[in-house]
Amino acid sequence: MSYQEEYRQKLTSAGEAVKAVQSGMWLDYGWCACTANALDKALAARMEELTDINIRGGILTRRPAIFDVPNAADHFAWNSWHMSGIERKAIQEGFAFYIPLRYSELPSLYRNCIKTLDVAMLQVAPMDEHGYFNFGPGGSHMKAVCECAKTVILEVNRNIPVCLGGFENCIHISDVDMIVEGENPPMETLGGAGEPSEVDLAVANLVVPEIPNGACLQLGIGSMPNAIGKMIAESDLKDLGVHSEMYVDAFVAMSEAGKITGACKPFDRYRQTYAFAAGSQKLYDFLNYNPECMAAPVDYVNDIHRVSQIDNFISINGAVDIDLFGQVSSESSGVHHISGAGGQQDFVMGAYLARGGKSFICCSSTVKDKKTGELHSRIRPTLVEGSVVTATRTNLQWLVTEYGKFNVKGKSVWERAEGLISIAHPKFREELIAEAEKMHIWRRSNKK
């Protein structure tokens, strides 16, 4: 039987495909911009007849149709590996929950720990002449998902870019149960790469001089990493490499400026390695059939031991709050959940262990309360009660705000307090000193 004939035999409608879903089942919805779409709408149409459905997914770039089912919590729970703002809102609506993890362990969680996965449904690029469907920019852990699922349903979308890679970036038609030709919606774009603020530029001006020629970069998403990437693109740096869990627009800007060659990487030379991608349409167009870019599973990309083998590895990530001991909270503010651990722990440690490597946690010195307009310091005496520690005080290396940068490695608690207060907003420094004194981590010899 030809692949085309097998395709025709497995082709069905979204409405027919979701009949495979029954009450009490566990489903997987895919990942980020490749989350199920037509299948989601079809499932939403019959969700009111179902109960006790559990769905895994993450980093939603659009609100799924099932979220708008009346009394959604009576029918399903959304279980997220990493939360976007859409999922954060769904927590307050009562049907979304976070799954704590290091992102690097996700494929092994599916293969070794998750005992039940009834149905996997995800968007993919059209089948090629060899019978393979590419996972597009949502690869990450999708191969492990499909291996574990009892039923695999693919939703074909002609607008999904084909992301080339080394391994686990596609699935063969022989491993697929049903195929749905979706509505071919455009790729969902992910915000956060707008024009950099003065604070973003100030932080970028402190970080970029720390990057040597031949460095290998890992960037998170947001205006601050975008500002750093833009500044690198306009700099004299050369022969940079990419090894990043997430591929963002800043890498496209650097590539177009000729700053990225990957020539100095010890492996995957001349290729930009990433686990998944999200951003603008320009980013998706850049990735499409681009042999320079290498999509690989997240347990390969985020592996601490692999990262530590890359000389001059530079990791740049954000944070919600940091306390005077050097504990970083990047997932929550108190019990208010925000995102997830992602790969921060892996890259902070991997970069530090690499020869010439540096990890930077970058954030603005303050945040404004949206309700009251009151300004709060992100550098706090202690984290807000209930806040999750993402990077421990023993792991942190460089912390950067618009007021300076400070390396906590090898520093005692009073040295840390002094250094971190020195890069806090001036409005809060005296208050922080007073709190540090109460906690016995401030020396009288320190300058006030």
pLDDT tens, 384-421?
998 989 888 999 999 999 999 999 999 999 999 999 99
The alpha-helical segments, DSSP class H, found in 208-330 are 223-233, 249-256, 281-287, 298-301, 304-308
pLDDT at 26 over 90: yes
**Pair (206, 177) in one structural domain:** no
Q: What confidence category does residue 195 fall into, taking pLDDT thresholds of 50, 70 and 90?
A: confident
**Helix/strand/coil percentages in the chain, nearest 5:** 35, 20, 45
In a domain, 33, yes or no: yes
Q: What are phi and psi of 317, to 5 degrees?
A: -135, 170
Cβ neighbours of 335 (radius 10 Å): 10
Helix (H, G, I), strand (E, B) or coil at 79: strand
Q: Does 192 have pLDDT greater than 70?
A: no
Domain end position, chosen among 153, 181, 209: 181
Looking up residue 370, the CATH number of its domain turns out to be: 3.40.1080.20
Residue 194 binned pLDDT confidence (cut-offs 50, 70, 90): low
User: Which residue pairs from 414-420 have beta carbons closer than 8 angstroms and sit at least 24 positions apart in sequence?
Assistant: 414/441, 414/442, 414/443, 414/446, 416/324, 416/325, 416/326, 416/441, 417/324, 417/441, 417/442, 418/442, 418/443, 418/446, 420/322, 420/324, 420/326, 420/379
Percentage of the residues of the chain whose pLDDT score is greater than 90:
85
Q: Do 242 and 317 share a domain, yes or no?
A: yes
Q: Are residues 144 and 207 located together in one domain of the fold?
A: no
Q: Is the pLDDT of residue 193 over 70?
A: no
More confident residue, 15 or 224: 15
pLDDT value at residue 358: 97
Mean pLDDT of 62-82: 97
Rounded average pLDDT over 292-297: 98
Boundaries of domain holding 351: 198-438
Residue 448 has pLDDT above 60, yes or no: no
The domain that holds 9 is classified in CATH as 3.40.1080.10
How many C-alpha atoms does 73 have within 13 Å on its Cβ side?
8
Residue ranges of alpha helices (H) inside 167-301 are 198-207, 223-233, 249-256, 281-287, 298-301
Q: Does 447 fall in a domain?
A: no
User: Which residues participate in catalysis according to the annotation?
Assistant: 245
Pair 116, 247 in one domain = no
Average pLDDT, the chain: 94
Same domain, 164 and 304: no
Does 258 map to a domain?
A: yes
Reference 299, options 116, 164, 149, 139; nearest CA is 139
Share above pLDDT 70 across residues of the chain, in percent, rounded to a whole number: 98
**And the tokens for 249?**
């627009």
| Domain assignment of residue 190, yes or no | no
- The encoded tokens of residue 330 equal 């990047």
pLDDT tier at 189 (50, 70, 90 boundaries)? Answer: confident
443 part of a folded domain = no
Q: Is residue 193 part of a domain?
A: no
Token pair belonging to 400:
């950067």
- Does 239 map to a domain? yes
Q: pLDDT tens digits, residue range 363-382? A: 999 998 888 888 999 999 99
Query: Do 206 and 173 fall within a single domain?
Result: no
pTM of the model: 0.94
pLDDT band at 446 (very low <50, low <70, confident <90, very high): low
Give the count of domains, the chain: 2
Whether residues 169 and 207 share a domain: the answer is no
Q: Give me the pLDDT at residue 340, please.
A: 85
Same domain? For 341 and 247 the reply is yes
